[in-house]
A and B are shown apart, each in its own frame.
Chain A
């Protein structure tokens, strides 16, 4: 059996490690929009989880199969109707929130299927992004690597926006962690943080 073939930066590993701290060993984990399965591979290696990914893109599905990651090919936008309520310990949406169309529905579905939910997204309010706009360009950064014309991102938000979203949808935030270059940010997080991580408990649990 060949070893998984993930290309990871040090920052990515620190982001993954931060997610891993919110997950109990041997949990049953569902990663929505799992890409090539790098996060699930990390969690399997560090926590011995039983992980499954959902992915719609052919090339990513193939990469998951190559990497020995359990992957289910389907379009998230259709919801999680094939999944029973509370059937996963943790459902993760890692840096995919900004690329989904039916944001409210997907967050509700995650809270239905998972006992716990972890959402991470690039903070559009990060100072480098604000600076780019002040200068007059759409932001391009490590967490937002796309040009305006080829981006899959359709629903960018700031940390403030997402806090408001949670309050407005009666979603109880259990923990919030803001990172820049994989390190926690406590001062002015909506300005100085590049990656936002949220942990919720399901309303059904």
Chain B
């Protein structure tokens, strides 16, 4: 089924918003673009739309391919398509690249119309709340008053949760997967190491490396390598790589000796070649700042009082970066507010990355939940 049920060849669209957007930091974006994709058909009363929010390094390209011979489809192709858990025969599904991104929405690599140069270091720091506000503009643009569901994993799950707080009447269901109500100190620490790798790269030039025609590749590469370590579980790494050697024998050098190193270097190089350093800094900061309970003296239950949506919360047992205990905090706060909520704690060995994996039971739970979303 998964092979035959693709959304096929897709192409992105860009929406321009000329009304200024005041960000949480107080900075004002005079105008901005959002690049997005959609799959399926919007029904007559615009009630079948699902917004899928992306995580740290995700994009608006959720499913399908741009060309038949693309090597890989969109990042959540196993979840989205005709007959898949997010069934494009029933739903109108939207993916959008977040503000500050580097895949087509206005971000640090875009040209600042005031200077005619890339925004670079002057692009403001954006937050989850800002993303949701920008996504709401896109919903208006598409004529969608309320989403049937808003959904996402990791940082995407935080956006889904924020939607229910920023626009309670505009979300009927929120699917919050492998997320947390805020980051732990350990998580902020990982983000800080990743940022330091970028900030201290001599080719970063304080964020204005574009005009020097260089990319802080080493910093991005290290940041991504660190990230990858934390997205996997010890067991998953052990199973995938173990202590397997790259060559038949060790070479007593600092070249790649172990398969694990080879994988990390490959992932780091690939990422450094396609992702923007300024975007990476801002995405990790958005994670750090997300904390809806902060304005309520740390009382998450009070923070979620405004939510009206029904919720599906999903976590994965081996996810140590966004552990099940963090998802249970969200569940507890929703229970205290008597919101309709279901919570699935899925047995998985892939760590945080499990939310992207095509696990049969995981997909069955998402499918079953969405079957009841009218």
**Interface, chain A (partner B; CB < 8 A):** 1-2, 28, 50, 52, 58, 61-62, 64-66, 68-74, 82-84, 87
Contacts and interface: CB of A to CB of B under 8 A. Distances in A.
B374 A1 contact: yes
A113 to B, nearest CB: 11
Contact of A72 (B331, B346, B368, B371): B331
Interface size class on chain B is 20 to 34
B345 A65 contact: no
B342 A74 contact: no
Contacts, number: 56
A73 B328 CA distance: 10
A163 B12 CA distance: 68
Given A50-B338, A65-B365, A73 B344 contact: yes
B331 A65 contact: no
Contacts of A70: 340-342
Interface string B146-160: 000000000000000
Contacts of A28: 338
8 contacts: A62-B365, A70-B340, A70-B342, A71-B342, A74-B345, A83-B335, A87-B335, A87-B336
Contacts of A61: 342, 344, 365
Interface string B349-371: 00000000000010011001101
A28 B342 CA distance: 15
Given A2-B371, A2-B372, A58 B335 contact: no
A72 B342 CA distance: 5
B372 A1 contact: yes
Nearest to A73: B345
Nearest to A61: B344
Given A58-B361, A72-B331, 8 more contacts: A1-B374, A58-B347, A65-B365, A70-B341, A72-B341, A74-B343, A82-B332, A83-B335
B331 A82 contact: yes
A87 B337 CA distance: 10
B361 A62 contact: yes
A35 to B, nearest CB: 15
A62 B364 contact: yes
Contacts of B341: 52, 70, 72
A65 B336 contact: no
Contacts of B342: 61, 64-65, 69-72
B158 to A, nearest CB: 20
B312 interface: yes
B343 A62 contact: no
Nearest to A53: B342
Interface string B241-266: 00000000000000000000000000
A71 B340 CA distance: 9
